[in-house]
Structure 1
Amino acid sequence: MLNSLSGRFLVLTTVFVMLAEVLIFVPSVARFREDYLLLRLERAQIASLALLADEMIDEELEQELLENAGVLNVVLRRDEVRQLVLSSPIPEPVAETFDMRDAEAWTLIRDAIARLVDPEDRIVRVMGNPVQDGGLLIEVTLRTAPLREAMIDYGLRILVLSAVISVFTAALLFFAVRQILVKPIKSVIAAMQSYAEAPEDSRRIIVPGAGIRELREAEDALASMQTELTAALRQKDRLAQLGGAVSKISHDLRNILTSAQLFTDRLEASDDPLVKRMAPKLVNSLTRAINLCETTLAFGRAEEPPPTLNRVQLAAIVSDVVEAERLASGDHDISFSEDVPASMSLRADGEQLFRVIANLVRNARQAIIASGEPGEICLRAAEDDEAWWIYVSDTGPGLPEKAREHLFQPFSGRASKGGSGLGLAISADLVRGHGGALELRRSDSSGTEFAIRIPKDGAALPDAAE
């Protein structure tokens, strides 16, 4: 029970209430001592007035008056005359004198504590103002043992009452906390356990309903997390199914493309100049398609091959991409510009680099076509001491904000309506395989620019590819 939230709350409540009662106990005992002494002064005054009314009171009656007042002697000052009104033998000297007329609270508390810790019976003198203007001053002497016993009895009663109040208050708070706090927390825990058994089941997502603000915020956060996780798991299942389907399609498509490649070889023997010029490009396109199918099959087996690093001419790759995309643009008003040094060669996998650039240019072309406005796509390259840089920019409408948030995540960073969101994810993976990075430099209403960074550090490239 003590390991539970409500059990610990019960213990803490009891301790804190007892601590508060202890802080109240000391002033209460001091006040009790003050009332006790003032009552003795009042009784002594009444006894002395009885004696003054009848001076013929015998010693036996005088002793009875002193015992009823609880004092040993009474001195009453009236009209500047100090009179010993009632007296009895004092067995020992007076140990202390207490003036109750203008006593401060701290003085009363100090004297009360001193009396509680001192078990010895002493004779003390107490002075105070007579009640009802019955004189100028009244003094009494009395023993401290009865006072201490009365203070201890009162203190014990206070402590017992405090303990009862503490336990009762803690019990009420215990049941209140169980109903208001612990029970809702247990319902949240039960919802979490139920969701953990089948996270794909959206019916097990918690429905926020707590009345406490903090718990409601926790339930809202948990519901949001569970919703996102369920969606991610469903997407993962769809990706797994899609991966299997793509692997089957790629396998059959590879066979079809291989057959088409064999037929294309015969086109090279044609005497038609246009056929002779287009046949090599068609063969290259089929070869790239076959390589893509084989890579997809390898990816489906979680065996994505590292890049084959060779010296490649970047200008030739960019030219092939631009020519293919220029044909794909058809009648749309799209211009292409190339600013790539003819002598620039970099160490990379030519096929993978072609796919990366082709993906970026294809996305730019589709964005410009979707906008319905004329546009330009620019490819340029530069190098420094550490890396080669390839820039692909366009004058399209820019990427949507949602696409920028998950730009390189599969099926999440779709740059255009109807896209799969795979192109940029694949491109980023291919560039990372070279030890480099694909990053978005800018994207606004004036267009979009991507940068490809391929490092020159030859020692790091094979490790990065692995």
Structure 2
Amino acid sequence: MVHSLSARLLVLTVLFVAFVDAVIVVASVADFRRDWLDDRLWESQIASLAVAAASTSALQREALATAMIVSVRYERGDGRVLVLGNEPEGPLGAYYDLRASSRLDLVRDGLATYFGGSKGLVRTTGPARNGPGFVTSVFDEAPLAAALAVHVRHLLLLSLLVSAFMVALVYFTLLRVLVRPLQGLASHVAEFSAAPEDVRRVIGESRRRDEIGTLQRSLRAMEEQIRHALAQRQGLATLGEAVAKVNHDLRNILATARLVSDRLSHNEDPGVRTISVTLMRAIDRAIELCTDTLRFGRPQELVPRPVRFALQPLAEEVGRSVGLSEDSNPMFLNHVSPHMEVDGDPEHLFRALQNLMRNSVEAIGDGFGEIAIRCYDMGAESVIEVTDTGPGLSEHARENLFKPFKGSTHAHGAGLGLVNVQEIAHAHGGEVRLAKSDSGGTIFRLHLPLRSDVALRRATG
């Protein structure tokens, strides 16, 4: 309880109010003392004027006793001096000159009188009222000390009552407006973390317009994202188990197809042998992909084995794997120079380019169009460019590129193709970029560093 936010708030409120009260009391002590001294000087001035009109010993004594003073010296602006009473013999307890006293002097002298008590007879000089001149009075400081003590006692009592009311008002207001909502948020976060997949534990809508309301709305949005992410993760885990089982059986089926296609390679027909070679390579890649899928859940990274190789034959093979040629529709244009070489893993780059070209084929659909691939060097990297004349990507696809299950380029896609392309590009130390996508077509660029840069990034990564 001592370390709770409400307890700290209460302690801080009491300390702040006590500090303000102390400042008020100190200032009040100085003001009360100054006013008391001014009153004595004013009464001394009145007494001196009255005695000047009728100067008798009895009247002087009565005037001095009424003003609670021992002697008065009133020096008027016209040069006249009025004296009342006899100057006491011996040293006085203190001398105060209100004409030259600063605010700090008044505070210091007031505290000294309150805590130190009376100094006996003191002399005080101050300006005269209602005209020029000044008045000097000698009086006993004991009545001032007594009156000051009573004033401070009453002031402290009043301050304590007002402060207690203000502390209670401020504390309960902040407790209701600030502390209780924060405590509710803290307890809700703990409750939500116990079962974040439960939709009933998501915080409700907030109608507050202050910072607490903003925090509550932000927390609700975050909890919704966490809940959806957990649901998606659970779905992926279930899907992964199913895919692993399917891949296990599919790999066996592909192994049988590999044996059959191997027999086709011995056929005497040249066309059949050419097709069988392409078919065998496709089956080998499918078997390897199934094997990689079964290993997907293991904690390992995609590690390419980069070599320098000619890109044109690989691009031609990728085109055939998705059913493209110069006579197909869409038409496939291989603009890669026969002398163009790149650094990378051929199998990985085959999969990346195959995903990009398949997206282009699906984008064009049954209409007439062209799909082209070209490659050029740009400083310390090679750039492979895949272009198509399709209608371009939708706004949703552009906003969610490279996001699993969100960035599909067509209606029935899973959105994993571009994710695989990005993963392969990053494994090579490069990246894939969407250079253009509008009604005139789409351009993807695959940036691959030179082999020395690949080795450097893998060594320092």
Q: TM-score range by the shorter chain?
A: 0.7 to 0.9
Shift in CA distance, 328/187, structure 1 to aligned 2, threshold 3 Å = farther
Most deviating of 243-252 and 442-451: 442-451
Residue 413 of structure 2 aligns to a residue whose secondary structure is: coil
Is 1:350–2:321 an aligned residue pair?
A: no
Quote the Cα distance in structure 2 between the aligned partners of 1:127 and 1:141. Answer: 12
Shift in CA distance, 329/248, structure 1 to aligned 2, threshold 3 Å = farther
Residue 281 of structure 1 aligns to a residue whose secondary structure is: helix
Kept in 1, the 8 Å contact 2:29–2:111? The answer is no
Kept in 2, the 8 Å contact 1:38–1:128? The answer is no
Most deviating of 449-458 and 335-344: 449-458
Is 1:6–2:13 an aligned residue pair?
A: no
Quote the Cα distance in structure 2 between the aligned partners of 1:130 and 1:302. Answer: 95
> Which residue of 2 is the match for residue 169 of structure 1?
166
Return the letter of the residue paired with 1:235: Q
Displacement after TM superposition at 1:201 (Å)? 1.6
Return the letter of the residue paired with 1:361: M
- Counterparts of residues 358-369 of structure 1 (less than 5 Å): 358-369=354-365
> Which residue of 1 is the match for residue 33 of structure 2?
33
Is 1:439–2:436 an aligned residue pair?
A: no
Kept in 2, the 8 Å contact 1:72–1:140? The answer is yes
- Counterparts of residues 234-273 of structure 1 (less than 5 Å): 234-268=231-265, 270=267
CA offsets per residue over residues 386-440 of structure 1, 9 Å max, x none? 444322122333334443444223223222222111112222223333x332311
Q: Which runs of 5+ in 2 are unaligned?
A: none
Residue 211 of structure 1 aligns to a residue whose secondary structure is: coil
Is 1:24–2:24 an aligned residue pair?
A: yes
Quote the Cα distance in structure 2 between the aligned partners of 1:130 and 1:251. Answer: 110
The one of 372, 389, 400 aligned to 1:378: 372
Kept in 2, the 8 Å contact 1:76–1:82? The answer is yes
The one of 415, 419, 432 aligned to 2:413: 419
> Which residue of 2 is the match for residue 222 of structure 1?
219
Shift in CA distance, 281/68, structure 1 to aligned 2, threshold 3 Å = same
Displacement after TM superposition at 1:443 (Å)? 2.5
The one of 407, 427, 430 aligned to 2:401: 407
> Which residue of 2 is the match for residue 123 of structure 1?
122
Root mean square deviation, CA, Å: 3.8
Quote the Cα distance in structure 1 between the aligned partners of 2:228 and 2:424. Answer: 27
Q: Which runs of 5+ in 1 are unaligned?
A: none
> Which residue of 1 is the match for residue 291 of structure 2?
294
Residue 416 of structure 1 aligns to a residue whose secondary structure is: coil
CA offsets per residue over residues 364-390 of structure 1, 9 Å max, x none? 221222xx7643222112346744432
Quote the Cα distance in structure 1 between the aligned partners of 2:260 and 2:432. Answer: 40
Quote the Cα distance in structure 2 between the aligned partners of 1:462 and 1:151. Answer: 82
Quote the Cα distance in structure 1 between the aligned partners of 2:14 and 2:282. Answer: 82
Is 1:147–2:162 an aligned residue pair?
A: no
State how many pairs are aligned. 453
Kept in 2, the 8 Å contact 1:76–1:138? The answer is yes
Is 1:184–2:184 an aligned residue pair?
A: no
- Counterparts of residues 295-314 of structure 1 (less than 5 Å): 295-302=292-299, 306-309=303-306, 312-314=309-311
Quote the Cα distance in structure 2 between the aligned partners of 1:417 and 1:317. Answer: 29
Quote the Cα distance in structure 2 between the aligned partners of 1:270 and 1:400. Answer: 47
Displacement after TM superposition at 1:220 (Å)? 1.7
Shift in CA distance, 329/299, structure 1 to aligned 2, threshold 3 Å = farther
